[in-house]
Structure 1
Amino acid sequence: MTNPTRREFLGSAAAAAAVMGISGRAAAAATPRPTDVGIEDVLMRYDDYHYRTPIKFGGTVVDRATILNVTCIVRTRDGRTVQGFGSMPMGNVWSFPSKKLSYDDTLSAMKALATRIRDLTAGHREPGHPIDINHDLDPDYLKAAKATAAEWNLTEPIPPLCTLVVASPFDAAIHDAFGKAHGRSCYQTYGPEFMANDLSAYLGPEFRGEYVAKYVTEQPKGRMPMYHLVGAVDPIVASDVVKPIGDGLPETLPEWINFNGLTNLKIKLNGEDLNWDVDRVIRVDRATAETQAKRGVSEWVYSLDFNEKCPDVNYVLEFIARLKAKAPEAFKRIQYIEQPTARNLAAAKPHALDEASKILPVVADESLTDVESLLLARDRGYTGAALKACKGQSHALLLAAAAQKHGMFLCVQDLTCPGASLIHSAGLSAHIPAVRAIEANARQYMPEANRRWEDRFPGLFRVKDGTMDTSCLNRPGLGAVEL
């Protein structure tokens, strides 16, 4: 597939913006569908967990999580009521990073926003497809974020990314209810039989006549490799363990490799210390190579995540040069580099990451909040996109379509998603053709949140051969999400 020019990409973004209008609302539906559902009520509750061991990203150490759980009741046009369920970690440190506001400040703001989003969602009565319902509510959610920031006298606005995270379990619950109402996997409800609008209503005229169904599969992949996270403060070998946890789970990288049969490792890096970053990858590779040799395994891969801390592309290029010189075999195992520089794409120059993306796929994550940001990321030199359930099922599907249309590298990543949120994330991975693996690190940091799901979906939550059994993700709704 030929990659569009910068002008063509920006033209696509402008066309999409014109279709959606200033408010971002979808174009009017051509013809309502008898399969449409309307929202009857929305319920929500929270679960709180402490991590068994801290995780560090973006320069911040996190040791806890708050999970937002949402139940949405919808009514079909023939009068039936059906419940759907969505769940997602709030992820405030990742989605609402701040040097002025505390952890509790940002979490409290997100909870206040969640209440507003609940009220807005429950008040939406126009029947439709979940993607249209979400697209119609999106601008109201953003307005609610501004109102929440004003009401709480926040010194910073609530970022759009944060708003997506808060809204995501509501969107998931609607998709889940819709699929269950029709006795189908959600991934079998994204064609013209169920959708009044084609993709041009959301992504611009070049998508006219195309539906989400073109870019997802109705049936999930049978098995997928699982990415294990090597956090920036995680011990690699036994000598790194200062205070053993002693809960029976692995505490070093070799132990985890043997425990789960790992072949895919995601390595968190600093982005502000070249020597540390290069040494970290070399140490991970050395421990992995020794362990895999004992297991008789010769093939494994890495991804590298700088969490937007690199000052510029020169840092990335120097990192690559040093790693290739010191550990060429480790370098060969890298599948992609994730979000090396700051998430603010408007502040970056065109083609800023081009030199790095000629060497390896460079994937945008924190930068992506809508299709316009996807196209702008491509203009800045990103060649890949990280899809996340925590940005919403509807948003993830639209970004997946746009990214595939433009020939971009795709991956799906989680937000230390446990339980139902991991099942949701795994469903995205299993139904988007280009995605190669699944991230699943709640089992490392928040295993308690997975406990009640393990017996129900053992192939997803008990990994022994480095892969997850995704064949079960074909049940009504979001694959396997159940109350």
Structure 2
Amino acid sequence: MTHAPRFALVETQRLEWPFRLRLPFRFGVITVTHGRQAVVRARIRLEDGREGWGVAAETLAAKWFDKDPALTDAQNEHQLRRALELAEAATLAAGADTAFGHFANSYAAVTAAGAAEGLNPLVASYGRALLDRAMLDALLKAQRVGFWAGMRANIGGMAPHAVAPDLAGFDFAAMLAAATPLARLHARHTVGLVDPITAADQAERVGDGLPETLEEVAATYRHRYWKLKVGGNVEADVERLSRIAAVLDRLHGGYHASLDGNEQYEDAEGALALWRAMEAEPRLRKLCASILYIEQPVKRARALETGMSALAAARPVIIDESDGPLDAFVTGRALGYAGVSSKACKGVWRSLVNLARCRAWNAGEGRERYFMSAEDLTTLAGVCVQQDLALVALLGLPHVERNGHHFVDGFAGRPGAEAYRFLEAHPDLYADTPRGPRLAIRDGMLEIGSLGVPGLGAAEEPDAGAMEPMPRAAWG
């Protein structure tokens, strides 16, 4: 693309709706039983006068973006609503710009505005990420082009920018032009801290006909990739992992896994003690061999202040919650981290900036050391999961953590007609079941070829009439 279209944001609609989990999900310091999904619609005006709407959706996740125990879940939700308000105000004031320009030229101001109100950079990035996706969706629809084709043509105008000074000489257009989006992805199943491993762990069953225990999940979906949560107590973690290994070790064809610390260890030494204990446990021999990387084992307050080389010598270590400032991966690299997570809730442009860093650093060292992983934040069926999957496919990441389909029953909480519209538009990604349309995972894989429709992974939009207006943020 010789010219990246410039456009201005004209207006937004901020909506949300509640959902409940069919099973409790514990990660880090919180056990989740319900939540709210944010939906942002954005109307843009191109320089030729044309206008169009786009949409993005993401969970208002408590106790992930900011894990301060003094804050209630409602306060965490208001933090994220405020981040959206700040991003919208900055974008409305900016006038016309490219899609990437809207992100890059406002990044410093939005981050500073958030900091002035006590919002950390990860919270501040949420609003920018959601609005950027909605505007990019609108641009792609206005140009009648799909996300993968549009990004390969650099429709967003991605180029070196002061927002990422370490990439001053990088050829973003060439990186995007060479992208080969994947048509199939492995679904990496999350095993939460209170998930039942076998039927013996359940005092009572949900009884909805869907898999509940780890054994049932393995038999139903036939995953080859798994994500295992740990809780910060070495003895308890080793025992629980041993029970998990007793199930996974029986899988035909073997398996791969990631180990997610969710900031549960105080320092690198504590995380290393867990790994040493795992290596010393005979029941974990096969599981240890399966571990691809260790995700954010240390609390973010210290994660980027202490070296990770000793643990990294055993397995690559990535940052997730510590990926707040846009240069966090640069800081982490100097401390021994080799990877960083991609989550659509942190931003499409952030993921692509970090992909460029992996490419540049690997080329500089002459080896494939630095990498990205694809992680989840309970992406729900519909626009939310489709936009994240489209991004993962563009990045070329072969497996992605998926948990929304397990902890939330399909399109639960949404109108039935909406669910069937998405099923008809994406029959490879969803399957009709006695309980309605659900994400289709066959032999552990997701088929995503249908996401190449005009827009950011979804031509259909959720029913705005079946949502509530987002309240103004009661924050600050």
TM range (shorter): 0.7 to 0.9
Give, in angstroms, the shift of residue 413 of structure 1: 0.8
Residue type at the aligned position of 2:119: I
**1:135/1:59 Cα in 2 relative to 1: closer, same or farther (>3 Å)?**
same
What is the identity, as a one-letter code, of the residue corresponding to 1:323? M
Q: 1:205 to 1:119 in 2, by over 3 A?
A: closer
TM-score by length of 2: 0.85
1:105 Cα deviation after fit: 2.0
Identify the residue that residue 105 of structure 1 maps to in structure 2.
75
CA contact (8 A) 2:56 2:133 kept: yes
Aligned: 1:118 with 2:88? yes
Q: Give the Cα separation in 2 of the matches to 1:228 and 1:347.
A: 28
* Inter-CA distance 470–368: structure 2 relative to 1 (3 Å threshold): same
Deviation at 1:206, TM superposition (A): 4.8
Q: Tell me, yes or no, if structure 1 residue 137 matches structure 2 residue 75.
A: no
What is aligned with 1:417?
A: 379
Q: Is the Cα contact below 8 Å between 1:42 and 1:121 reproduced in 2?
A: no
Question: Aligned-pair distance for 1:312?
Answer: 2.2
User: Structure 1's 481 and 380: CA in aligned 2 closer, same or farther, altered over 3 A?
Assistant: farther
CA shift for structure 1 position 346? 7.5
CA contact under 8 A between 1:265 and 1:303: conserved in structure 2? yes
Which residue of 1 is the match for residue 273 of structure 2? 318
| 8 Å CA contact retained: 2:392, 2:400 | yes
CA-CA distance at 1:256 after TM superposition: 0.9
Is residue 2:400 matched to residue 1:441?
no
Aligned residues between the structures: 434
CA distance in 2, matches of 1:238, 1:341: 32
Q: Deviations over 1:437-482 (max 9, x none)?
A: 0221111112244671445334332112100012223222212353
Alignment partner of 1:50 out of 14, 20, 23: 20
- Equivalent in 283, 294, 311 of residue 243 of structure 2: 283
Letter in 2 for 1:277: D
Q: Is the 8 A contact 1:54 1:63 kept in 2?
A: yes
Determine which of 261, 265, 268 is the counterpart of 2:229: 268
Q: How many Å separate the matches in 1 of 2:152 and 2:343?
A: 22
Partner residue of 1:464? 442
Aligned residue type for 1:72: A
Structure 1-normalised TM-score?
0.84
**Structure 2 CA distance for aligned equivalents of residues 68 and 313 of structure 1:** 35
1:175-214, Cα deviation, whole Å (9 max, x unpaired): 1112222222233344676455622544236542511550
Q: Residue 196 and residue 389 in structure 1: after superposition, are their counterparts in 2 closer, same or farther (change >3 A)?
A: closer
CA contact (8 A) 2:145 2:455 kept: yes
CA gap 1:44/1:199 in 2 versus in 1, 3 angstroms = same
* Equivalence for 1:64: 34
Identity, % of aligned positions: 24
Q: Encode CA deviations 1:348-387: one digit per residue, 9 max, x unaligned.
A: 23xx110111221111101112442111011121111111
Q: 5+ unaligned residues in a row in structure 2: which ranges?
A: 363-369, 430-438, 462-476
- Cα contact 1:227–1:266 (8 A) shared by 2: yes
Distance 1:216 1:242, change over 3 A: farther
| Pick aligned residue for 1:186 from 142, 147, 150 | 147
User: Match for 1:302: what amino acid?
Assistant: A
Counterparts in 2 of 1:209 and 1:108: CA distance versus 1, 3 Å:
closer
Q: Deviations over 1:142-193 (max 9, x none)?
A: 344346x3xxxxxxx2211011123322111111112222222233344676
Residue 109 of structure 1: how far off its partner (Å): 3.4
How far, CA to CA, are the matches of 2:220 and 2:158 in structure 1? 47
How far off its partner does 1:77 sit?
2.2
Unmatched segments (≥5 aa) in structure 1: 1-31, 150-156
Find the aligned partners of 1:100 and 1:376 in 2 and give their Cα distance.
28
Who is 2:473 aligned against? none
Which of 329, 335, 348 is matched with 2:286 structurally? 329
- Which of 205, 209, 215 is the aligned partner of 1:254? 215
Counterparts of 1:42 and 1:248 in 2: how far apart (Å)?
40
Measured after TM superposition, the shift of residue 141 of structure 1 is 2.5
Q: Distance in 1 between matches of 2:104 and 2:246?
A: 47
In structure 2, the residue corresponding to 1:95 is in which secondary structure?
coil
Counterpart Cα distance in 1 of 2:6 and 2:342: 26
Runs of 4+ in 1 over 6 A off after TM superposition: none
Contact 2:182 2:398 in 1 (8 A): no
Aligned partner of residue 194 in structure 2, secondary structure: coil
Distance 1:146 1:392 in 2: 18
Residue correspondence of structure 1 range 104-253 to structure 2 within 5 A: 104-126=74-96, 128-146=97-115, 149=117, 157-190=118-151, 194=155, 198-204=159-165, 206-208=167-169, 210-214=171-175, 218-253=179-214
d(CA) in 2 for partners of 1:93, 1:55? 13
Letter in 2 for 1:447: D
Quote the Cα distance in structure 1 between the aligned partners of 2:58 and 2:47: 29
Residue aligning to 2:467: none
Partners of 2:164 and 2:64 in 1: CA distance: 27
Question: Is residue 422 of structure 2 the alignment partner of residue 480 of structure 1?
Answer: no
2:57 counterpart of 1:87: yes
String of CA shifts for 1:51-100, please: whole Å, max 9, x gaps. 11221112221222211111111122222112111111121310021121
